[in-house]
Structure 1
Amino acid sequence: MTTTAEVRPSLSLDGTWEFRHESRDGWRTTTVPGPWQAAFDDLRESSGTADYRRTFLLPADWAGREVWLRFGAVNYFCIVRVNGTEIGRHEGGYLPFEFVLPPDCLRPENQIEVTVTLPTSEADRFPDFPFPEIPHGKQSWYGPLGGIWQSVSLLARSTPHLAHCRIHADLSGGVKVDLGLSAAHSGAIRIRALGQDGSSAWKGEITADGEQAAARFHVDAPLPWSPDAPNLYRLQLELLRDGEVIDALEESFGFRRIEAREGKLFLNGEPLYLRGALDQDYYPDGICTPPSLEFLEDQLHKAKELGLNCLRCHIKVPDPRYYEVADRLGMLVWTEIPNVEQLTPNAARRLRETFEGILRRDGNHPSIIAWTLINEDWGTRLVENPEHRAWLAETFDWAKALDPTRLVVDNSACVPNFHVKTDINDYHYYRAFPERPAEWERLTEEFAGGADWTFTPHGDGTRTGEEPLIVSEFGVWGLPDPAKLTEPDGSEPFWMESGPFWGDGAAYPHAIRNRFDMLRLDRVFGTFDRFIEAVQWHQFRNLQYEIGSMRSHPSIVGYVITEFTDVHWEANGLLDLKRNPRVFHERFAEVNTDIVLVPKLERHAFWTGETIDLQIVIAAGGRHVPEGLSLRWSLAGRAGEVQAPAVAPLATSAPLAVTIGAPTLDASVNATLRLDLVASDGSVLATHAGDLALLARAPEPPSLTLACRDPELAAYLGALGYRLAKPGEADVVVARGVDADDVDAIRLGGRMLVLADGHGRARGNLRADEPPREQPFMPIVDGRPGIPVANHHYFPGLGLAERHGTMWRGDWISSFSWLKRTGAFADLPGGPLLDLAFNNVAPRHVLTGFQPWEYESRVHAGVVVGWIHKPAVTIGERPFGRGKLVASTFRLTESAPGEDPVAATLMAALIRTAAGR
């Protein structure tokens, strides 16, 4: 067969081009491909118009041939000139286009000029394509992307030539090939299909008549394509004229079938559990331009090491090499149309044109199994606009008709939006532990039960009830190691200055190390490196818990972790932006795999010597778990095993009951609960390892007495074994808030513990009484004369804020809650970050008003958000006169006295701290 290179030679025009942006004087050089925002520090956030130019020499042996100029992608609108002659215009930022070069404009040496416009939202300046009405994806999050961001090349081809090839390969071996030609042609087209090993699978000839041609043939015993066996076939095409080959083309394809039926996913007829990650497809230097084919291969190898079998390429059309690598190495891809901001008629047209272009360019890739039309209602208004719901249902049907071989999602939904008509019932929700595991469990339980809130409540949807359930976004942040992200000259990457307007400022990476030092967090974590390691393990433990929770519900058949890699300021990746692994990289496949062991416990902290009752669920994923396996467990020197039942694919076992007698220990420890599913030959099919806190009972000093005016709180403290006395006779006063009498008592040497967990009257601060208001001005702002006086004017000078509804909640941009394990708090194992042992006591309020220097010694527990922003305190102390106040927002009285070892131990530590013992 004649190769494509032999009959359609090409010349790459990648490399150095001259560049000029309208906002700057003069020309400078840049590298194509790549957005201008990646090339120039002074244009990071710029849109508008720019010019590119370069020269090329036309190869002498191309004389007499039709010459084409091809662009992989240019964002967004461009005008192309050669030697001063305009040869074409193109609108659309993600897909290829090409122009034939008129012979009369060509010379031995030629100059190309490309004027590129990336519009803003200014409709008066860009009336034909304002930014809100063009497909733009995450440019509204991570910054604009303008210019020639994919490769440019010259090609010499015949007239006519093979312009397009669409391949439909049925799992039974049937192959349908639809060809488009650049011009009418009457003649033979020679076809040959080659197998993975290069052997001939079929060959023959068809006759072209006009600009279209089609072939039908059958491959015997085809090898199906899957992530575990990415069997690819090659289709070689030769266009003949009078028996001579005038053009050739080669395309890869695979035999692959994806189905959604009976609430499940099937790949090639076999059950499929989707283990995906959201992939923004951003890169460390080129933003959206990958640095090399080798880089794409490396990141896909790492994805497979992590146990992933799918990447959800998020609202972006990637470089075509992305799919080539996924095909070759074996990775399912769920692809999405880049969103618009406003669904006007022009925007709706562009969305459909973009999908048609994606299908034309990428439709032969077996790795692509699903399309998303809209993400999270971005660009539409499904909740309020029935016309948008009707448009979405109609567009779903249109897309399914264009490509019946793949699944289509109408709107990948989150609160408060929903589905209208879809192949997959997917939903996004974020909850983090230890603060909100109960909310996560309730959401997951409702979703697994087919919650009504996933579909339109307006009666205008189509729901079969058999749509597979997939949690298509969830996760928490870790943080990358900044030392691994520096530029060759030691400077930080440009994107460290991004994100200041996201997450109420918590997404700003620059100067993270300074904030670590300012808050004296070295007193908590030891070093900055240990802090980074701790938050990465925190990310792992969250994902382990959440994946286990989902896997225990067999009706949920997949998930998509947010996300595969960090993206600039967004630090929730399994890899950082340079594709450096997190500390848990080698362990993550234990969690993110087909067969998973899920321990179910009411709590994760126990007294030493206590009996631990747990149930273990075996989730089979896409594999069958055979009979005759043993489930082995071990904890703190204790071990045992039970027989494991067989489990069908996409099912879970009945819970297996296991009782463990925790050893009696002199000191508190974090002990690893290890579970292994073991075959008779000793091989391990699945494993789980997670920590449980085993706390030793610590008797209180018999001389320590407490006073408490709150009868309910006094009864609780008495049930814990504390001796109660009158306020003037007690070592420590325990209360929900502070009044003027308490302040005076502290001034005279009193010790006080305030449990500011939201149960008392002290809502905006720790004061139970009402301080006076600012005088003499008396505007009425809330029904009462006067302006409230700032908290810092009255002891203890602290604010009390709810985490709910603020960035301290930490469900998306994670909050990192910590507790110093020194002094009286050394009896609490683990740390410094709070883990699941604290899930029943984790604070829902924080204290504000502490200065950074106070974190040295007056702050014992606190929280930071994202890149160490919005510091707040959950245990802190303030001296006053001869006395001292200790305040805590931990919820220590929500379980029965002594039932929760962490609550009881933390209460004892707080009382000792307040007493100075």
Structure 2
Amino acid sequence: MAGAWPVQLSAQLQLGPAGGPSFQITNVQARKVTSLNGKWRTIVDPYENGYYDFRMQLSREGYFLNLKPKDKADRVEYDFDSSETLNVPGDWNSQRDSLFFYEGTLWYKKSFDYQAKPGNRIFLHFGGANYETIVFLNGERLGMHVGGFTPFDFEITGKVRARDNFVIVKVDNKRRRDGVPTLNTDWWNYGGLTREVTLVEVPATFVKDYFVQLKKGSMDTIAGWVRLNGAQPAQRVTVSIPEAHASVTVRTNAQGYAAFSLPAQLTLWTPDNPTLYEVRVEAEGDSVREQIGFRTIETRGTEILLNGKPLFLRGISAHEEAPFRAGRAFSAEDSRTLLGWAKELGCNFIRLAHYPHNENMLREADRMGVLVWSEAPVYWMIDWENPETFLNASNQLTEVLTRDRNRAAIILWSVANETPITEARNTFLKKLAALVKAEDPTRLTTAAMMHHEVAGTTEVVLDDPLGDVLDVLGCNEYLGWYDGAPEKADRVTWKSPYNKPLIMSEFGADALSGLHGDEGTRWTEEFQENIYHHQVGMLNKIPFLRGTSPWVLMDFRSPRRVLPNVQDFFNRKGLVSERGEKKKAFFVLQEFYREKARQ
């Protein structure tokens, strides 16, 4: 038998419950970081033979052990060092033709040397991995994370060696009925280490997390908190904004936590003037710097108020799809391209559907002045009555709140998209909305809700009971594409029992870029353009409408979309093709937004 089974691994390899590890470091980019990006060795493992033996017990020869033959007679049936490579960050589907549709387990291995400063702590950080991830260092299991779009960390202090370390990661993207999202979606299930992997070095007691935003209802008082982690949690901590001549010092308690408040005269962040300040959080043995913008967001009746002024959200929806190369977007360059198209369209707002997008997207939105709707991956159908599914959803939502709570661009946390109304669903989503309010009372809650058409009329009513607990109503409608002819929009009137603002969060039609015909021919640019003309007329007549985010900025891959020579596994509702070509409807929406900007 190649390699003896290490007794100490037996307990460590037991699968934990669904959900991620409790540890998450805020603002990893501001720390001492060593990149593990680049080429990783990989093994495709559809039967999970690298984890289980033929009795479905944990394997004594598992790939996580990185075994090598002891002599020429020894049998080891895998070898990372002679296996193919994949780029990290990156999804496996777009990097290798044989993995285009692959769903299952794939193993990654990276070797590295690392010499830490004595007394410091080391963490292995993952920006995101889809979907269930189990991580090993030098053959030892570190832990597991569930969820494809949020960051997670494992502490490796005392486990990392100066030389010859190897990290092995099992990533499994199989869709699951009890998963979040669940089995059926309208986007590509990109698998793998889709975001950056880094080593993060921090002092023994360090600034783990903080919240620095304007106090709710105030434009000149910052209210927040800071949390330290380590053996000396009670310390003096100073939070300062040098450019604003604002500073406060507090002492954290035995749990490393302290709240603070300080007055500050600030230039408020807006899409037209996205002012960011350097904020310093300085403990006795650690300091972190961060670029943060300050603005208020609230509702008053059917109005949305940014810094106390009424606002119309001129938006677009977007998937995390890379422009030009296709595949999962992850880089700052991808983000600047996508947001640049949105700005060219005339947008001051983007809906990042249907899951948390990468951190670069949020930071670039801060810099470029684009307001953001950020969404949890609670999509279509979820196992509403399963407590583990709720814990999974709430964990993913908490992780993105933790990562992005200091981003001025985010004004809306969305808890769901197009979920059918049942009592179990209502309870599930109302609990998620309450979680958001408890974690971040400074922002607004929303969701893409359900609506119905009154029989025998052209009146559409937005009376989803979820509207009771949300600040802003969202609604997806596809008049002219899935619902009647484009002209139907001319006759439809919208009603709502809620005295709340509405964002029409989706509408649109598929068009193949470069396919032309008359406006009655489906799949042509002219058909899509005609739907947008009729939509604009209808939208202008909705008195409580305060924003739109049509579907969608750019064509994106979806296995549901199989029509040859038109879809070819792309949802074609983009106003821009995956090659960057602008369709005719782009310019209809652009003109609509120019008119809105002048009002």
Using the alignment, how far apart are the partners of 1:143 and 1:14 within structure 2?
A: 23
Within the candidate set 462, 467, 475, 2:508 is matched to: 475
Alignment of 1:169-180 (within 5 A): 169-170=214-215, 171-180=218-227
SS at match of 1:133: coil
Counterpart of 1:16 in structure 2 is 39
Counterpart of 2:138 in structure 1 is 83
Counterpart of 1:342 in structure 2 is 383
Counterpart of 2:488 in structure 1 is 439
SS at match of 1:231: coil
The structural deviation recorded for 1:238 is 2.0
The letter for the 2-side match of 1:77 is E
Return closer, same or farther for 1:276/1:104 CA change in 2, 3 Å cut-off: closer
Q: Deviations over 1:228-263 (max 9, x none)?
A: 1111222112221xxxxx322122322222222222
Using the alignment, how far apart are the partners of 2:254 and 2:132 within structure 1?
A: 32
Q: Give the total of aligned pairs.
A: 510
The structural deviation recorded for 1:326 is 0.6
The structural deviation recorded for 1:432 is 2.5
Q: Deviations over 1:840-881 (max 9, x none)?
A: xxxxxxxxxxxxxxxxxxxxxxxxxxxxxxxxxxxxxxxxxx
Contiguous gaps of at least 5 residues in structure 2: 1-26, 48-77, 454-462, 558-569
The structural deviation recorded for 1:410 is 4.8
Higher RCO (CA-CA < 8 Å; seq separation 6+): 2
Using the alignment, how far apart are the partners of 1:7 and 1:480 within structure 2?
A: 41
Counterpart of 1:168 in structure 2 is 213
- The answer on whether the counterparts of 2:490 and 2:534 sit within 8 Å (CA) in structure 1 is no
The structural deviation recorded for 1:414 is 4.4
The letter for the 1-side match of 2:533 is Q
Using the alignment, how far apart are the partners of 2:288 and 2:595 within structure 1?
A: 39
Using the alignment, how far apart are the partners of 2:571 and 2:523 within structure 1?
A: 18
The answer to whether 1:366 aligns with 2:355 is no
Counterpart of 2:15 in structure 1 is none
Within the candidate set 31, 36, 49, 2:105 is matched to: 49
- The answer on whether the counterparts of 2:366 and 2:409 sit within 8 Å (CA) in structure 1 is yes
Using the alignment, how far apart are the partners of 2:37 and 2:257 within structure 1?
A: 34
SS at match of 1:211: coil
Return closer, same or farther for 1:336/1:100 CA change in 2, 3 Å cut-off: same
- The answer on whether the counterparts of 1:178 and 1:214 sit within 8 Å (CA) in structure 2 is yes
Of Structure 1 and Structure 2, which has the larger fraction of its residues in strand?
1
Return closer, same or farther for 1:285/1:291 CA change in 2, 3 Å cut-off: farther
The answer to whether 1:430 aligns with 2:431 is no
The structural deviation recorded for 1:201 is 3.1
Within the candidate set 158, 167, 177, 1:132 is matched to: 177
The answer to whether 1:572 aligns with 2:573 is yes
The structural deviation recorded for 1:53 is 0.4
The letter for the 2-side match of 1:575 is V
The letter for the 2-side match of 1:203 is S
Counterpart of 2:272 in structure 1 is 228
Within the candidate set 233, 236, 239, 1:191 is matched to: 239
Using the alignment, how far apart are the partners of 1:12 and 1:290 within structure 2?
A: 18
The structural deviation recorded for 1:531 is 13
Return closer, same or farther for 1:478/1:104 CA change in 2, 3 Å cut-off: closer
Counterpart of 1:280 in structure 2 is 319
- The answer on whether the counterparts of 2:503 and 2:546 sit within 8 Å (CA) in structure 1 is yes
Using the alignment, how far apart are the partners of 2:387 and 2:589 within structure 1?
A: 45
The letter for the 1-side match of 2:302 is G
SS at match of 1:37: coil
Counterpart of 1:310 in structure 2 is 349
Counterpart of 1:147 in structure 2 is 192
The structural deviation recorded for 1:275 is 1.7
The letter for the 2-side match of 1:235 is V
Q: Deviations over 1:299-336 (max 9, x none)?
A: 21221111112111112111001110111111111111
- The answer on whether the counterparts of 1:47 and 1:117 sit within 8 Å (CA) in structure 2 is yes
Return closer, same or farther for 1:388/1:592 CA change in 2, 3 Å cut-off: same
Using the alignment, how far apart are the partners of 2:487 and 2:132 within structure 1?
A: 49
Q: Deviations over 1:744-791 (max 9, x none)?
A: xxxxxxxxxxxxxxxxxxxxxxxxxxxxxxxxxxxxxxxxxxxxxxxx
Using the alignment, how far apart are the partners of 2:438 and 2:30 within structure 1?
A: 35
Using the alignment, how far apart are the partners of 1:7 and 1:547 within structure 2?
A: 44
- The answer on whether the counterparts of 1:178 and 1:212 sit within 8 Å (CA) in structure 2 is no
Return closer, same or farther for 1:273/1:162 CA change in 2, 3 Å cut-off: same
Within the candidate set 196, 199, 202, 1:157 is matched to: 202
Counterpart of 1:650 in structure 2 is none
Return closer, same or farther for 1:217/1:319 CA change in 2, 3 Å cut-off: same
Counterpart of 1:901 in structure 2 is none
The structural deviation recorded for 1:105 is 4.9
- The answer on whether the counterparts of 2:236 and 2:251 sit within 8 Å (CA) in structure 1 is yes
The answer to whether 1:551 aligns with 2:527 is no
Counterpart of 1:771 in structure 2 is none
The structural deviation recorded for 1:139 is 7.0
Alignment of 1:385-404 (within 5 A): 385-404=422-441
The answer to whether 1:409 aligns with 2:428 is no
The structural deviation recorded for 1:225 is 1.2
Using the alignment, how far apart are the partners of 1:227 and 1:532 within structure 2?
A: 38
Using the alignment, how far apart are the partners of 1:110 and 1:271 within structure 2?
A: 56
Question: What fraction of aligned residue pairs are identical, expressed as a percent?
Answer: 25
Counterpart of 1:99 in structure 2 is 154
The letter for the 2-side match of 1:563 is V
Counterpart of 1:591 in structure 2 is 592
Using the alignment, how far apart are the partners of 1:6 and 1:332 within structure 2?
A: 22
Return closer, same or farther for 1:47/1:293 CA change in 2, 3 Å cut-off: same
- The answer on whether the counterparts of 2:323 and 2:334 sit within 8 Å (CA) in structure 1 is no
Using the alignment, how far apart are the partners of 1:300 and 1:72 within structure 2?
A: 20
Using the alignment, how far apart are the partners of 2:588 and 2:430 within structure 1?
A: 42
Return closer, same or farther for 1:214/1:288 CA change in 2, 3 Å cut-off: farther
Contiguous gaps of at least 5 residues in structure 1: 121-130, 241-245, 451-462, 482-515, 596-620, 625-917
The structural deviation recorded for 1:74 is 1.5
- The answer on whether the counterparts of 2:476 and 2:507 sit within 8 Å (CA) in structure 1 is yes
The answer to whether 1:418 aligns with 2:464 is yes
Using the alignment, how far apart are the partners of 2:143 and 2:120 within structure 1?
A: 19
TM-score of the aligned structures, taking structure 1 as reference length: 0.52
The letter for the 1-side match of 2:450 is A
- The answer on whether the counterparts of 1:533 and 1:583 sit within 8 Å (CA) in structure 2 is no
Using the alignment, how far apart are the partners of 1:112 and 1:315 within structure 2?
A: 30
Return closer, same or farther for 1:38/1:414 CA change in 2, 3 Å cut-off: farther
The structural deviation recorded for 1:216 is 2.9
- The answer on whether the counterparts of 2:486 and 2:530 sit within 8 Å (CA) in structure 1 is no
Return closer, same or farther for 1:269/1:348 CA change in 2, 3 Å cut-off: same
TM-score of the aligned structures, taking structure 2 as reference length: 0.78
The letter for the 1-side match of 2:336 is E
The structural deviation recorded for 1:85 is 2.0
The letter for the 2-side match of 1:440 is A
The letter for the 2-side match of 1:265 is I
Counterpart of 1:30 in structure 2 is 86
Counterpart of 2:247 in structure 1 is 203
Using the alignment, how far apart are the partners of 1:89 and 1:397 within structure 2?
A: 27
